[in-house]
Amino acid sequence: MTSRAHPVDGGDLSPATDGGDLPIKSSPHRHKVGIPPKQNMFKDFMYTFKETFFHDDPLRDFKDQPKSKQFMLGLQSVFPVFDWGRNYNLKKFRGDLISGLTIASLCIPQDIGYAKLANLDPKYGLYSSFVPPLVYACMGSSRDIAIGPVAVVSLLLGTLLQAEIDPNTNPDEYLRLAFTATFFAGITEAALGFFRLGFLIDFLSHAAVVGFMGGAAITIALQQLKGFLGIKKFTKKTDMVAVLDSVFSSAHHGWNWQTILIGASFLTFLLTSKFIGKKSKKLFWVPAIAPLISVIISTFFVYITRADKQGVQIVKHLDQGINPSSFHQIYFSGDNLAKGIRIGVVAGMVALTEAVAIGRTFAAMKDYQIDGNKEMVALGMMNVVGSMSSCYVATGSFSRSAVNFMAGCHTAVSNIIMSIVVLLTLLFLTPLFKYTPNAILAAIIINAVIPLIDIQAAILIFKVDKLDFIACMGAFFGVIFVSVEIGLLIAVSISFAKILLQVTRPRTAVLGNIPRTSVYRNIQQYPEATMVPGVLTIRVDSAIYFSNSNYVRERILRWLHEEEEKVKAASLPRIQFLIIEMSPVTDIDTSGIHALEDLYKSLQKRDIQLILANPGPLVIGKLHLSHFADMLGQDHIYLTVADAVEACCPKLSEEV
Amino acid sequence: MTSRAHPVDGGDLSPATDGGDLPIKSSPHRHKVGIPPKQNMFKDFMYTFKETFFHDDPLRDFKDQPKSKQFMLGLQSVFPVFDWGRNYNLKKFRGDLISGLTIASLCIPQDIGYAKLANLDPKYGLYSSFVPPLVYACMGSSRDIAIGPVAVVSLLLGTLLQAEIDPNTNPDEYLRLAFTATFFAGITEAALGFFRLGFLIDFLSHAAVVGFMGGAAITIALQQLKGFLGIKKFTKKTDMVAVLDSVFSSAHHGWNWQTILIGASFLTFLLTSKFIGKKSKKLFWVPAIAPLISVIISTFFVYITRADKQGVQIVKHLDQGINPSSFHQIYFSGDNLAKGIRIGVVAGMVALTEAVAIGRTFAAMKDYQIDGNKEMVALGMMNVVGSMSSCYVATGSFSRSAVNFMAGCHTAVSNIIMSIVVLLTLLFLTPLFKYTPNAILAAIIINAVIPLIDIQAAILIFKVDKLDFIACMGAFFGVIFVSVEIGLLIAVSISFAKILLQVTRPRTAVLGNIPRTSVYRNIQQYPEATMVPGVLTIRVDSAIYFSNSNYVRERILRWLHEEEEKVKAASLPRIQFLIIEMSPVTDIDTSGIHALEDLYKSLQKRDIQLILANPGPLVIGKLHLSHFADMLGQDHIYLTVADAVEACCPKLSEEV
């Protein structure tokens, strides 16, 4: 038995099988803990580098291909249109045409309203639905995303720009700064993708995004009260207190009942159509075209009744013609350059978060792969080109993408269709929007942002993780009661704090043997698991790095202390072996090794032997390099906890 | 067999035992994955809170104690002197007396030199070795640490202060800012401890600290060339290029050969004594008292020869008397308050890093526990009190603490002894330092900082982790070639970047069955492990959070893709089951659950079944709450990989 217990020269696996000869196991011997072959330093570094930045192996298809094929693949990789374009057919076009027309009817009224959120003329909203979708259609890899201005980014951009330049007194400078910010938003997005740093946007946690979006939706809806109630004097702040104060202080003379009547009736119409669309998936087109119908009817109604003379505010003027060039308007020097970069980086990151989330969601639904980094380059390029053609920040719109998906789009051609419809609108139809009441646009925006308030998701977050819920609520209330930036800052800070907590406070668990098996599991999860007398088995559930090495050491000593007190109280045999289950410890650094050394020394003083079970390839390699494995002794490292316990047992009995 | 494979109604553990009846396992049945009882929300939150901030359970001893005892324990906890003081005896005092005298002889010349690094009068160095050690002796819990000014913090403080106020033109303001910074360094340290945020200093990785300390040591040694060579005009910058330029440009007329002779001979003496001390541990006192001997001999020599008239620079004047109060000199308003806070926070954190590392090292050697957070409060209070009594930032000195330890100290009384010796020096001996040549102080400092250049540690870091080594070298060269702050900034940034990488890029591994066992291990580590045909087993080595959920999903799909290609090439049966070993997945959040859902949908399209093995208590709870467990099916969750594989096998054979 003693010889068996030695890890090198053999032995059995399960303590339950002790003393029984198992005919089935022809050559019962214990496996040693494998030490992976030593890697060449450069190779090792390249491997880590590749796994970090190129984990999706983007060049996989290029291997072993002739030069001409490689060129074609490269072209397809930058412009996926060359890939899917070759298999394009009429059947696909039919789907794309229908979905393109549907999202166009949805986007035109939204665009006009969103541009106002960014304190820009309505035409810039339409411009931004013309150029960027065309660029994206050539470069993007998502088949379902619908590109254009979106509510949250418009609001964020409007708030950030307004803090720098007053849009009423300095409209030209304001516009130039908007283009500058758009340019740098594009550069930021493209750079993140190009340098394969796309994972940075993953640092905004889902919970924080849910809270931020919900708060932004409410803020946007509150902003619409201006148009909805026909108020002329309205606060520039976005926090709830200021807005409601502004609304109620103007209640007596500032509200316009005709406006309210128009707004309320069409909002009811929109909500009803949304309800119909939810009831039957086949009727998805009802809510999709309802906004355009509302615009047409209400415009006609105002034109007939001349309600604008009764104080109903209308769009009044919408320039005819396509996007003028705006390259010369971008600031490339001076104070405004720095401001533009700062605003662009923030707006670009938020826009990216939304677009990437949409891309992933629909890709998972249809099971195709999206290369996140390539996607970012596409989104970035479309904003860079957009900034030079009078567009402001465009990204993927969740509501329009969902309609696009349901209308049966097959490829990015639906974006091209939409873009053409917007082009035609800009060329010929803009004068028709003259009498469109602002209240309708407000109703359309309120209707559009309601789904951003995702109460279901918040409930799930509450159930699953309380800390996440705090992050979610922090972002939500930050946006509502302070400002969009502060809400975003709270969201990012809490997300980071959570990562830091996760890294510094890894979990540890005491393991017990599950009866009649050689399996050791957390005794809190498996109350039937029993601890072996004289042996304490602890699992450390994380890589041991400088950020947590001291915590791990201290926590293990506390487990030991608690267990020793229990043992003393029950007058059981004293603990002689401390087994650390290292399976989840995927890596260790010098601080971690020092912590193990310190632990080893502490245990030595108390006459407790330290034993490691199943250190991973990296860990065992480093333990050998640092000579800790020699200090501990090779016979104190086992393949499994069961092996280690079996090895301890005979030694235990000697003393008892 | 099929019924056996069902996880609920029984079955065996190891696929290797299929078909063989094992008499030893009396009741062969498969265990279900345990779902821990649902916790009360408040309890759950408190548990997390406690594990995060009170993992060491500091109030453990207070439980079930009468009020009077609790008061006593509370007092002892704030002032550990009431704890160890009661068992203090003459034998302990003997050890403390010897070690106290030894570190006093070491600290007096060092203090005078270190104060110069901070651009302060030498007396402030001595002041800082008088008050802070007394405070620490009452409140601190380390028995071996020696308190006083240290080289790196002095240099850092000097650099930071000098950037704000010129010490030559505005000495009074400079001094006031120094006290202000010291005050806020103390507040920072105490606050970190009080709010149990001590783990924040763990974010400075060991590698970064090694690099930073090494760089700072070289910078400090280079600064000493001024005193060592007797140069009068010396650059204020600390980077290597500026310093060497300053040294060589003054080579022709600025160097003083008498100074060099004195400095070089005593440096040789100091290094020799250090060598002797290393050779024989019993002679540790030789290097410990060598500095004081050097000071005495050289001072006497200069006094006799009047070498100061030959251009040998001397201390000239050292005020007699103890620390004056400096409370009124601290800035509590104005611009200088903000500067003081900023400098104090940085200096306090660095000082804390050094002291805590020392405390932990020696505590591990003698196996006693140090409460990191309490320790920080003690260190903070000592600097707050120090700032009001003309001291600058004091902390634990590594070199003096090592001497203290080797000289056989038992308690913090050795610090009191040292403090008394410094007091006597201040009262009576300061005039004797008048003729001490600056070159001796330079030699003492050079000798003292050499051990900070820890080449062994750097080599180990290089061997163990290449990324860590880059952090180490970044900090090192940052300090040497730019400045102390930049080096520190590089160290912190790289440490953080490493944490972020660790969190976003968790490891994954393909598992194989180790022959004749039911154990599944990484096939890269165990080349003998074999994969079961038709089944792909992947282990995810980290909690799945928002920061890595997309990576995990994409990486798993890539493993699958690669494996499918291999299988196709070898015309093996196609992969029908994807088993995810969840043992190391200690936690999951909503983003992680979404990633699993997306993965599940992708696999469904490809007709591959997703199976989870051994989800932990938190994970299984959350999977149930979010209904993912129902979506997946209870019979797709197993206790072990072996169980899961066994369950797949019969289903596989049906198709083949």
DSSP per residue, A605-629 = HTT-EEEEE---HHHHHHHHHTTHH
Same domain, B623 and B478: no
A630: chain B residues, CB-CB within 8 Å: none
Same domain, B216 and B324: yes
ipTM: 0.77
Q: How far is A20 from chain B (nearest CA, A)?
A: 7
- The span from the CA of B330 to the CA of B186, in Å, is 13
A548: chain B residues, CB-CB within 8 Å: 202
B136-151 pLDDT, tens per residue?
A: 999 998 889 999 999 9
CB atoms within 10 A of CB B400: 27
Both structure tokens of B446: 């050079």
How many domains is chain A built from?
Answer: 2
B449-469 pLDDT, tens per residue?
A: 898 899 998 998 888 888 788
Same domain, B180 and B251: yes
pLDDT band at A5 (very low <50, low <70, confident <90, very high): very low
Each residue of A431-465: b (16+ CB within 10 Å) or e?
eebebbbbbbbbbbbbbbbeebbbeebbebbbbbb
Q: What is the pLDDT of residue B3?
A: 36
Candidates A578, A556, A560; CA nearest to A568 is A560
**Cβ-defined contact of B465 to A622 (cutoff 8 Å):** yes
- Averaged pLDDT of chain B: 85
- The span from the CA of A543 to the CA of A540, in Å, is 8
pLDDT score of B615 more than 60: yes
pLDDT score of A48 more than 80: no
CA atoms within 13 A on the CB side of B456: 4
Residues B486-497 have a mean pLDDT of: 84
pLDDT score of B235 more than 90: no
Q: How far is CA B81 from the centre of its chain?
A: 26
Domain CATH number, residue B530: 3.30.750.24
- Amino acid identity, residue B326? S
pLDDT score of A537 more than 90: yes
For the ranges A20-24, A363-367, A401-405, the lowest mean pLDDT is seen at A20-24
Same domain, B478 and B553: no
pLDDT band at A4 (very low <50, low <70, confident <90, very high): very low
**Cβ-defined contact of B464 to A593 (cutoff 8 Å):** yes
**Cβ-defined contact of B26 to A516 (cutoff 8 Å):** yes
Q: Is residue B128 part of a domain?
A: yes
| Closest residue in A to B60 (Cα–Cα) | A562
A425-470 pLDDT, tens per residue?
A: 999 988 888 889 989 989 999 998 898 899 999 998 888 888 788 8
pLDDT band at B153 (very low <50, low <70, confident <90, very high): very high
pLDDT score of A527 more than 50: yes
Q: Which residues contact A365 (CB under 8 A, 6 or more apart)?
A: A144, A405, B601
Name the helix (H) or strand (E) containing A147. Answer: strand A147-148
Domain range for B599 is 506-655
Q: Is residue B77 part of a domain?
A: no
pLDDT score of B17 more than 50: no
Q: What is the pLDDT of residue B186?
A: 96
Q: How far is B394 from chain A (nearest CA, A)?
A: 24
pLDDT score of B593 more than 70: yes
* Strand pairing report for B520-522 and A535-540: unpaired
| Closest residue in B to A621 (Cα–Cα) | B464
Q: Is residue A49 part of a domain?
A: no
Q: What is the pLDDT of residue B267?
A: 93
**Cβ-defined contact of A34 to B498 (cutoff 8 Å):** no
Q: What is the pLDDT of residue B609?
A: 92
Confirm if B535 and B579 have CB atoms less than 8 A apart: yes
Facing residue for B547 by CB, picked from A202, A465, A517 = A202
pLDDT score of A267 more than 90: yes
Same domain, B225 and B362: yes
Same domain, A529 and A428: no
The phi, psi pair for A525, rounded to 5°, reads -85, -35
**Cβ-defined contact of B602 to A367 (cutoff 8 Å):** yes
Same domain, A450 and A571: no
Q: What is the pLDDT of residue B31?
A: 65
Q: What is the pLDDT of residue B277?
A: 87
A561-584 pLDDT, tens per residue?
A: 889 988 888 888 889 999 999 888
| Closest residue in A to B519 (Cα–Cα) | A640
Q: What is the pLDDT of residue A284?
A: 82
B286-308 pLDDT, tens per residue?
A: 888 899 899 999 999 999 988 88
Same domain, A434 and A534: no
**Cβ-defined contact of B589 to A52 (cutoff 8 Å):** no
Domain boundary pick from A454, A469, A486: A454
Facing residue for A622 by CB, picked from B464, B557, B590 = B464
Portion of chain B with pLDDT greater than 70, in percent: 92
A44: chain B residues, CB-CB within 8 Å: 466
Q: Is residue A572 part of a domain?
A: yes
Q: Is residue A208 part of a domain?
A: no
DSSP per residue, A45-77 = HHHHHHHHH-TT-TTGGGTT--HHHHHHHHHHH
- The span from the CA of A227 to the CA of A229, in Å, is 6
| Closest residue in A to B552 (Cα–Cα) | A55
- The span from the CA of A164 to the CA of B24, in Å, is 78
Interface test with A, best of B546, B558, B582 (most A CBs within 10 A): B546
pLDDT score of B315 more than 70: yes
pLDDT score of A501 more than 70: yes
Same domain, A347 and A423: yes
CB pairs under 8 A between A and B: 285
Q: How far is A351 from chain B (nearest CA, A)?
A: 18
Q: What is the pLDDT of residue B11?
A: 36
Crossing angle for the helix pair A413-424 and A131-139, nearest 10 degrees?
160
Q: Is residue B120 part of a domain?
A: yes
- Per the model's pLDDT, the better-predicted residue between A579 and B9 turns out to be A579
Q: What is the pLDDT of residue A254?
A: 73
Q: Is residue B410 part of a domain?
A: yes
pLDDT score of A162 more than 50: yes
Q: Is residue A52 part of a domain?
A: no
Same domain, B492 and B511: no
pLDDT score of B538 more than 60: yes
Residues B397-413 have a mean pLDDT of: 89
Facing residue for B616 by CB, picked from A207, A460, A522 = A522
Domain boundary pick from B439, B469, B500: B500
Domain boundary pick from B500, B522, B553: B500
pLDDT score of B514 more than 60: yes
A540-551 pLDDT, tens per residue?
A: 988 888 888 888
B464: chain A residues, CB-CB within 8 Å: 588-590, 593, 622, 625-626
Same domain, B289 and B379: yes
Same domain, B447 and B518: no
Q: How far is CA B12 from CA A380, A526, B638, B646, in A?
A: 55, 18, 12, 8
B66-78 pLDDT, tens per residue?
A: 888 888 888 888 8
| Closest residue in B to A206 (Cα–Cα) | B591
Q: What is the pLDDT of residue B39?
A: 65
**Cβ-defined contact of B468 to A22 (cutoff 8 Å):** no
The phi, psi pair for B421, rounded to 5°, reads -60, -45
Portion of chain A with pLDDT greater than 90, in percent: 35
Residues A44-69 have a mean pLDDT of: 75
Facing residue for B464 by CB, picked from A36, A589, A605 = A589
For the ranges A252-266, A270-284, A440-454, B27-41, the lowest mean pLDDT is seen at B27-41
pLDDT score of B643 more than 70: yes
